[in-house]
Amino acid sequence: MIAPNPSSTDVAGKLGVFPWEFDEQALSKACLNHRDWGQAWVLLSESNETAELPDFADLVYGSREALYCASTWLNLESGHDLFRLKQSRVSPRSLPEIRSRRLERRRHQLEQARFQCWINYFGAKQSSDYQELDRLHHQWIEQLIRFCAGTITLDDLPTELRQSLAMLRLDQSRGDVRERLVSLGQLDPHQLTSMAGTPWTDGFNVDLTAEAERLIQLSLEDQPGDSERIDLTHQPCVTIDDAETRDIDDALGLERLANDQLRIWIHIADPGRLITAGSPLDLEARRRASSLYLSRGILPMFPSILSTEVFSLQASRRNAAWSTWVDLDSTGNVGASGICRSWVTPRYRLTYDDADELIDFAPPEEADLSDLHALLTTRRHWREQRGALMMDLPEGRIRCRDGQPTVEITEPSPSRNMVAEAMILCGTVAATKAIEKDLALPFRSQLPAELPSPAQLESLGDGAVRFAAIKRCLSRGLMGTAPAAHFSLGVPAYTQATSPIRRYGDLLVQRQFAALLSLDGHDEPLDTESLQTLLQQLETAVREGIAVTREDQRHWQQVWFEQHSGECWPVDFLRWLRPQDRLGLVRIEDLALDLAATCPPGSQPGDSLVLGVVGVDSVRDQLHLVADVPGSG
C-alpha cells in the first residue's frame, strides 16, 4: 500500500484526484539526493530492521503524505541500489549486493554506449573515424566480411550484430552489407570476400620468408639424392610459356637416337629437392594446396623468390628436374617410357608465339620443335581414337591492367596444343608406372558419359554450340588413390604431375616416386590410406581456391560490364541453365566468353541473339544480362 484510502472512495486512476492531489511537477520536485538515501540506508542497516512504505517515507522525507509515499514508491519500484521493496516492506540491501548492482548498471551503460557507437558508425553511409571502434566492433567487421563471402550465415552472427543490421535495414541482403563495408572503407571494392579467413589473405610471414631465403643459399650446396640424378644438361630442351610467366615448371626436349627413333623428353621442376615433407614451407604449401592465378596477379603456393627463381626451370642454367622420357610407336601409343631425377639446362625460353613460328617454319637448324609437334600430334590422334574430347576454342579472361579490366583472349595454337599434349602424356606415364609398381598416387579420373549422337552433334555445327552440348553430359572429374580411366582425356589412367610449383598434389606425386626410387630405401612411399588422408586434408584448401578464382573472374566481369554497360554484342545461344527462369548460357564470340543471361522462351542451341546489360553492380555482386532476338528491341 502506497497511501491509505478511505473505504468509501474509489481508487483514483490519475494524478490531481484524491488521494493524488498533486501533479507531475510536484512529484518530480519531491526527490532526494544520494546523500539522503545513503543516510537512510545507514540507519536501517545499523538497526537491521525493515519498514512499511509509509514509515519509510516518513524516515526519508519526514512525512507520510501521499505525495511523498508516491515518490518513495516510484524510486523503490524502479529498482533502487540501496533498498529492496517487497510486499510493501522496505529493507536495506547488503553492501556486496549494492556493489554488484552498480557494477552491473555500469556495464549495461557501457554496452549501450558501445552499441550506439556501432550504430552511429555503421549507420553512416560514408567513411568515418574507425579508431572510435573497440575490439568487439573490429571482430564484427571481420564477421561481416565473412558473411559477405558466404562462409557464414546471418544466424551465425552475434545477436547484437544481427539486431544492429535489422535496425539499419541491412539484414535482407549480403549485397547491402558489402556495399556499406565498401562505403565505410572497410572493404576494397575489388576485395574478394571469399578470401576471408583463407591462407592467401596474409601472404608469407617473416619466418617463412626467412626460411625461403635460407633455401636459396642451400640450393647452391649438394642435396640428398643429387648424386643419383642423370645429367641431361647436354641435351637441348626449351621452355614454352606466356611472355609474363615467371614460375616455369616444364620444359620439352627431343632426343634423336641412333636408330632414327625420336624420344620425347618432358622435364618438370623439382621443388622437392629443397622442400622436405613436414617443413614449415611444405606445411604452408599444403594449407594453400595451389597457386591462384587471379585477375590482378598470382598468389603463389611458395614464396615468389623460390617459385620464380630457384624452383623455376631457367634458361642457360643447370636446374634440378624430374624427367620423363617416352618412345611412341607409329600410332602414338607408348612403346617405352621412364622417369628419373635429372639435371637439365633449357637452351631457350620461348613464348607460345615464338614456338608457333619455329613449328610453322621448321628451320633445319631448329627442327626439334617441329618434330616434337608432329610426334605429339600423333599422340593426340591416338587419344581421339579412344574417345578423347577435343574442344579447342578461344578462351577469354578478364585481367586487371593498371587498375582497369581488359579482356585477354587465348587462341588455340600448335604450340599450346603440343605443350598440353605433352603434359597429358607425362601424367599418363606417371599413372601407368605407379600402377605397375603398386604405388599410391592422387589419380584423376572421370566417369564415362553418354554423349549426343553423331547426327545430333553434326546438326549443331562445329564450335561452341556443339561443345556446350557435350560438356553438359560430362560428369565432374574425380581424385582418389584408386586408378581409373579418364573419359574426356581418353586414357586408362592419369595423374597431374607437371606443376609441382603450383599444385601441391603434383608435389606429392614427385615425392612418391622419389621414395620409390630411393637407392638407400630410407624413405618409404605413403600407402594408400595415408595418402588418402592427406588428400582429404587438402580438399578444403582446394575448394577455397576454386571459390576465390570463380569470384575473382565473376567480379572483374562485372567491373568490365559496368564500363561497357551501354554496348550490345551478338551472341550464340548455347543451352538452357534454368528454363523455368529463362536463364540460358550464351557465348560472346568477340570476347570468347560464355555467360549466363535471360533469353527468349523457346531459344534453341545455335540461335543468334543480341546481348545487352540491364543491370550491373560489382560491389553488390550483381550482373543481369538479357539476350534477345535481333531487331526486337
Q: Are residues 575 and 506 in the same domain?
A: no
Q: Are 141 and 92 in contact (CB under 8 A)?
A: no
Q: Please determine, for residue 263, whether its predicted confidence score (pLDDT) is greater than 60.
A: yes
pLDDT digits (tens, 9 = 90+) for 598-609: 999 999 999 999
Percent of the chain with pLDDT over 70: 94
Residue 19 lies in a domain: no
Residue 381 lies in a domain: yes
Residue finishing a domain among 158, 187, 216: 187
Cell of 242: 606466356
Quote the pLDDT of residue 568: 96
Q: How far is CA 459 from CA 239, 455, 456, 594, in A?
A: 41, 6, 5, 21
Q: What is the pTM assigned to this prediction?
A: 0.81
Q: Are residues 226 and 373 in the same domain?
A: yes
Among the listed residues 428, 468, 474, the one whose alpha carbon sits nearest the alpha carbon of residue 451: 474
Q: Are residues 308 and 383 in the same domain?
A: yes
Quote the pLDDT of residue 14: 52
Give alpha helix (H) positions in 62-205: 66-77, 95-123, 135-149, 159-167, 174-183
Q: Are residues 278 and 176 in the same domain?
A: no
Q: Are residues 44 and 101 in the same domain?
A: no
Q: Are residues 302 and 259 in the same domain?
A: yes
Parent domain of 602: 555-628
Residue 461 lies in a domain: no
Which residues on adjacent β-strands are paired with residue 444? 479
Quote the pLDDT of residue 3: 54
Residue 54 lies in a domain: yes
Residue 469 lies in a domain: no
Domain count, the chain: 4
Residue 464 lies in a domain: no
Average pLDDT over residues 207-233: 95
Residue finishing a domain among 93, 121, 143: 93
Give alpha helix (H) positions in 23-94: 24-29, 34-47, 53-61, 66-77
Q: Are residues 548 and 576 in the same domain?
A: no
Residue finishing a domain among 121, 152, 187: 187
Higher per-residue confidence, 348 vs 67: 348
In the predicted model, what is the mean pLDDT of the chain?
Answer: 91
d(CA 602, CA 588): 20
Q: Are residues 80 and 128 in the same domain?
A: no
Quote the pLDDT of residue 411: 96
Residue 222 lies in a domain: yes
Lowest mean pLDDT among 93-102, 372-381, 385-394: 93-102
Higher per-residue confidence, 389 vs 18: 389
Q: Are residues 70 and 133 in the same domain?
A: no
Quote the pLDDT of residue 130: 63
Higher per-residue confidence, 394 vs 198: 394
Q: Confidence class of residue 129 from pLDDT cuts 50, 70 and 90? A: low
pLDDT digits (tens, 9 = 90+) for 483-505: 999 999 999 999 999 999 999 99
Q: Are 296 and 353 in contact (CB under 8 A)?
A: no
Q: Are residues 544 and 565 in the same domain?
A: no
Q: Are residues 489 and 541 in the same domain?
A: yes
Residue 2 lies in a domain: no
C-alpha Rg value of the chain to the nearest Å: 37
Q: Are residues 314 and 352 in the same domain?
A: yes
